[in-house]
Amino acid sequence: MENFDWTSFTKKIAIKADLATIYNAWTKSGELEKWFLKEADFFNAADETIDKNNNASQGNGYEWLWYLYDDNMKGTLKSVNGKDQLQFTFEGTCLVDVNLSEFNGYTIVELKQHNIPTDDSSKKFVRLGCSNGWHFYLCNLKSVYEGGLDLRNKDADLDPMINN
């Protein structure tokens, strides 16, 4: 494990959907709730909630809540270009870059989480935990936008599983 990068990871997936649809999946609260979050809210500089059908923009804050977890996450959209790129804070000081491109009728989603601290807790819960989490949620993004099937476990009577 001496050459293992604890500070970042990258995930890629091809989705048979147009780029604008997938961009909206990342920047509209209502779309994030279809594949990723139980509740998603973006806030403008005046701390007013942005309509769930409107795209968030650079500098907007967010508050996200997942199914079956009580902890919410707050962060900021650091960079948003309105077309194919965004960056947001995640898990404290970490950054997540999402870059979209088109290839042969697919939208390629490339996600990079970086600036991960290297203390033991961050290695376990952020580097390894988020890598597994993003793996599932990117697969769910594909499932929802290609076929409409949401794979998330939303049943609190079931122990945590790979789909939550």
Number of Cα atoms under 13 Å in the Cβ half of residue 18: 3
The one-digit pLDDT tens for each residue of the chain (164 residues) are 679 999 999 999 999 999 999 999 999 999 999 999 999 999 999 999 999 999 999 999 999 999 988 889 999 999 999 999 999 999 999 999 999 999 999 999 999 999 999 999 999 999 999 999 999 999 999 999 999 999 999 998 998 888 88
Beta bridge partners of residue 28, listed in sequence order: 55
Contact (Cβ atoms closer than 8 angstroms) between residue 135 and residue 108: no
Claim: this prediction has a pTM higher than 0.85:
yes
Of the chain, the percentage scoring pLDDT greater than 90 comes to: 90
Residue 30, H or E segment: helix 29-35
State the Cα–Cα distance between residues 35 and 160, nearest whole angstrom. Answer: 17
